[in-house]
Structure 1
Amino acid sequence: MDLDGASSPTVSTGVQEIPGRSTQRGAFYQFTQQNLPACKPVLTPAAIIATFLLMGLIFIPIGLVTLRASNSVVEIVDRYDMDCIPEEYRNNKVAYIKDDLISKNCSRFLKVLKPMKAPIYIYYQLDNYYQNHRRYVKSRSDLQLLHGLGYNDTSSCKPLESSHNLPVVPCGLIAWSLFNDTYKFSRGPSELKVNRKNIAWKSDRDHKFGKHVYPFNFQNGTLIGGGKLDPSIPLGDQEDLIVWMRTAALPSFRKLYGRIEEDLDVDDVIVVHLKNNYNTYSFGGKKKLVLSTSSWLGGKNDFLGVANLFVGAFCIFISIIFLLLHMKNPRPYGDMAYLSWNRKNIAS
């Protein structure tokens, strides 16, 4: 075998000649052979302890800041579904909610315990309501919401795609079960105006619901689900429907109803005149009214702050454990005696 012949493109094996391997050391070759320069940190005990300690010192202040932002949000939560039923119907709530001849008017009194700066967001909260059910989520037609009667394939809306042999716009279970409780607010003799504009996502209003699509044959069947829609207003302007049709991922959820754009002071008493129309009694659901302010982080949610505090405290705890273990059993860096093939010698 001739190793000095540089001009020969092959390597002789005595039995068979195979092409010689390229000796190029380009970037692609270095990448495939993992020869590119890279940062290879040496994980010494001191570096690991310092890293965990630094992570703890970073996460704990972040957790304290986010938790303080969440605690600065003022909320008033009032469950009204049980108290707004007359005494004589407490044992048969479903019959009460289905009887259109019975008045559904109800008044609630909410006391403001802390100052609430405008805007004050109004939410309705539903519990034990599974909007994430597969059949429920699929029961809609996004193309019909955008194009109206011009789109005829509404098979995904079954069993609520038509009524009296006429198509329904909007079709499907989600629209059919539209929330229809209403709220009015007053403070003393004056009414608090509720701004119900721009409560839905702008992307939904502009791109998912047609500005020239109007409700048609909606809630005209024998079984009425929830609220009705004004047939003279296009779907793109009916923001209650748009908010409702963005389905929730969890069985307890809040949806925006409107905004009060006046400050509320301590000890103010807010009178809520509501209509208890929506049927949550058939499936054991709960209804709550929520008034809430907001912070730079959004609404009230302690999870992010608690999670950061937990991670920070855990990192500091681990760094202390590692430090104690290192002080008890120090190991010299680079000691060859600790290699696996030398451990027998150490044991002997």
Structure 2
Amino acid sequence: MAETKVERLNEPKYNPFTQQELPACKPLLVPKLVVITFMFIGTLFIPLGAVCLQASSEVVEYTKRYDDLCVTGATNSDKEANLLATSGAGTDCQVTLAITEKMKAPVYIYYEMHNFYQNHRRYVKSRSDEQIRGDAAGAMSSCEPKVYTGGDSKLEVSPCGLIAWSFFNDTYSMSMNGQNLPFSEKGIAWTSDRKEKFGNQEALNFNDIPEYRGGGTITGPVNENEHFIVWMRTSALPTFRKLYGKIDQDLEAGSLITVDIDNRYNTYKFDGKKKIVLSTASWLGGKNDFLGIAYLTVGSICFIFGLVFLGLLCKYPRELGDVTLLSWNKVAKE
């Protein structure tokens, strides 16, 4: 009886990839290889951690909290009430930063927020990327619960959503030793964000009613407001910094930097904190010792394990394939 050839549907072509016949490396973890691996990782990571810590130590940074200085009140509830009484105008205050170590240009200005969860799922999803790009037909449903302004006049908000509506609106001006200290507020946002993610449309009904205001206002084309673009890139942790400006001159040691603050943003409602930060940068970025400490810790542990295994290998040597020394009782007797 002749065999009939059955044609199988969607059968993959025969090749080493689909049949899992590609050559593979299967290292045998003999004691010498384990010792060499641990020693190599330790020798590599320890100097790398030292370099990272050195780069972080070169960063000069000064931080000053100001939310508790700009509004009077015994509790956060009292401070919130006093801030809301200004109907969105905010309160004025000053903080002084004493520069004890020279800061080489560029010096970056950040505002730092505490206890603000920009990573909350509902908060992150409350935006319309199509609308931000200037697409008039962009979906608005994703902006819930902030699609319209409050009150009786349900006016459509553009840009809509909780992220945009909570836009940070404190402002700063600076002087050094009594003289005006200029700083640039351009070039603080990602170029790709300015050119591709934000359109040149005008903001519509965006926080222009003080009693319903959740944050700052926007004037002019959306893609020209770099503070807003920086704010819209949400942070992963409840404590974060966002770039506000850049000072293009050196700050000499012994200088006094006075920061005039227009305090508007309501952090008192959620027991948050606000800080002003001046910082330089290294090739590794801002001041952060975590990476260097992590490299040193892992490298040191690997190096110690390598020495321990090397000692055991020297004391209890065995040939490859010799299983006689695998019995702990025999090793203990010897």
**Is the pair's TM-score, using the shorter chain for normalization, greater than 0.5?**
yes
| Equivalent residue, structure 2, for 1:272 | 259
Partner of 1:145: 132
How far off is 1:90 after superposition?
7.2
The reply on whether 1:93 has 2:79 as its aligned counterpart is yes
Q: TM-score, length-normalised on structure 2?
A: 0.86
**1:336 to 1:289, Cα distance in 2 relative to 1, 3 A:** closer
8 Å CA contact 2:171–2:261 kept in 1: the answer is: yes
Question: Equivalent residue of 1:61, what SS?
Answer: helix
- Contact 1:89–1:96 (CA under 8 A) maintained in structure 2: no
Paired residues for 1:1-348 under 5 Å: 28=15, 32=19, 34=21, 38-86=24-72, 92-100=78-86, 104-148=91-135, 150-151=136-137, 153-163=139-149, 164-211=153-200, 213-221=201-209, 222-230=211-219, 233-335=220-322
For residue 39 of structure 1, report the CA deviation from its aligned partner: 4.4
SS at the partner of 1:92? helix
- Counterpart of 1:99, as a letter, is A
Deviation at 1:188, TM superposition (A): 1.8
Residues matched between the structures, number:
314
CA distance in 1, matches of 2:237, 2:132: 24
1:23 is matched with which residue? Answer: none
Give the superposition deviation at 1:256.
Answer: 0.5
Amino acid corresponding to residue 188 of structure 2 in structure 1: I
Structure 1 residues 214 and 319, CA gap change in structure 2 (3 angstroms): same
Q: Is the 8 A contact 1:79 1:288 kept in 2?
A: yes
- Secondary structure class of the residue paired with 2:63: strand
2:11 corresponds to which residue? none
Q: 1:47 corresponds to which letter in structure 2?
A: L
SS at match of 1:228: coil
Secondary structure, counterpart of 1:242 in structure 2: helix
Could you tell me which residue of structure 2 aligns to residue 6 of structure 1?
none
SS in 1 for 2:81: helix
CA distance in 1 between counterparts of 2:323 and 2:162 reads 70
Shift in Å at residue 88 of structure 1? 7.5
Q: Is the 2:73–2:82 contact (alpha carbons within 8 Å) kept by the matching residues of 1?
A: no
Is contact 2:61-2:279 (8 Å) kept?
yes
TM-score w.r.t. the length of structure 1 is 0.83
Deviations 1:275-301 (A, max 9, x none): 111100011001011100000111111
In structure 1, what residue type is equivalent to 2:32? A
Cα distance in structure 1, aligned partners of 2:97 and 2:234: 29
Cα distance change of structure 1 residues 157 and 336 upon mapping to structure 2, 3 Å threshold: closer
1:97 deviates by 1.4
Shift of 1:189: 3.0
Question: Residue 170 of structure 1 contacts residue 215 of structure 1 at CA under 8 Å; is this kept in 2?
Answer: yes
Unaligned 5+ segments in structure 2 are: 4-13
User: What letter corresponds to residue 289 of structure 1 in structure 2?
Assistant: I
Output the aligned Cα RMSD: 2.8
158-167 or 66-75: bigger deviation = 158-167
Greater C-alpha radius of gyration? 1
Q: CA deviation at 1:95?
A: 0.6
Deviation per CA, 1:310-334: give whole Å up to 9, x if none. 1110111111111222233222223
| Counterpart Cα distance in 1 of 2:17 and 2:221 | 62
SS at match of 2:68: coil
Structure 1, unpaired ranges of 5+: 1-9, 11-26
What is the distance in 2 between the residues matched to 1:337 and 1:279? 72
